[in-house]
Chains A and B, each alone.
Chain A
């Protein structure tokens, strides 16, 4: 069974701080996506990465795909209250099914 572990599970920080969340798999994956789910909403796609070592930036968010295609990280610079939400990574493996991680719940205090 393919598993995606995310860490930390919960993170509460002050506005303006930087943070990194991690997504680790026991298997190699062909692509990885990051979604953000705000309270009372469904998840929304932030980015898709497909190449080992790939780095993508989305304003203050930086996504990195590990060289071995088994891990990924999301770094947020100068976090804002609007960044609050549940961050989910999701991978496609050998079966091409989309498997979601356990999630990191981020709270940014003003």
Chain B
């Protein structure tokens, strides 16, 4: 296993479904992130966990619920989503949170389509 892995790679769900995105990092990092990537928009930071504690929550609707059970795993629980939530959801990790020159290591993303 290398780097940051995300599952599933593709997800189609109805507005009333409940699903979860999973992220796992094998780099020994202490910070993990969820980003949303939509067409023609900059990458939007959603949540940051540092040492399993949530340190950033950028006004994300409550229909998105993150969970970080340990420093290697990060989940994004999805409930009653809207079609405008369709996007690529990227997980990333870094050695620590907030380092000036810290590098983010991204997973391949989970492509979500909400019908």
Contacts and interface: CB of A to CB of B under 8 A. Distances in A.
Interface string A44-67: 110010100000000000000000
A40 interface: yes
What does DSSP make chain B's interface, helix, strand, loop or mixed?
loop
Given A97-B45, A101-B42, A103-B42, A50 B108 contact: no
B109 to A, nearest CB: 6
A101 B42 CA distance: 6
A interface SS class:
strand
Contacts of B42: 4, 99-103
Nearest to A89: B42
A99 B43 CA distance: 8
Interface residues of A, number: 24
B53 interface: no
Contacts of A45: 103-105
A110 to B, nearest CB: 25
Contacts of A88: 43
Interface string A83-110: 0000010101000111111110000000
A51 to B, nearest CB: 11
Interface residues of B, number: 20
Given A42-B4, A42-B106, A88-B43, 12 more contacts: A30-B100, A31-B100, A31-B101, A41-B108, A42-B107, A43-B43, A43-B104, A45-B104, A50-B100, A90-B43, A97-B56, A102-B40
Interface of B: 4, 40-43, 45, 56, 90, 92, 98, 100-109
20 contacts: A4-B42, A31-B100, A33-B101, A40-B108, A41-B108, A42-B4, A42-B108, A45-B103, A45-B105, A48-B103, A50-B100, A90-B43, A92-B100, A96-B100, A97-B45, A98-B102, A99-B42, A100-B42, A102-B42, A103-B42
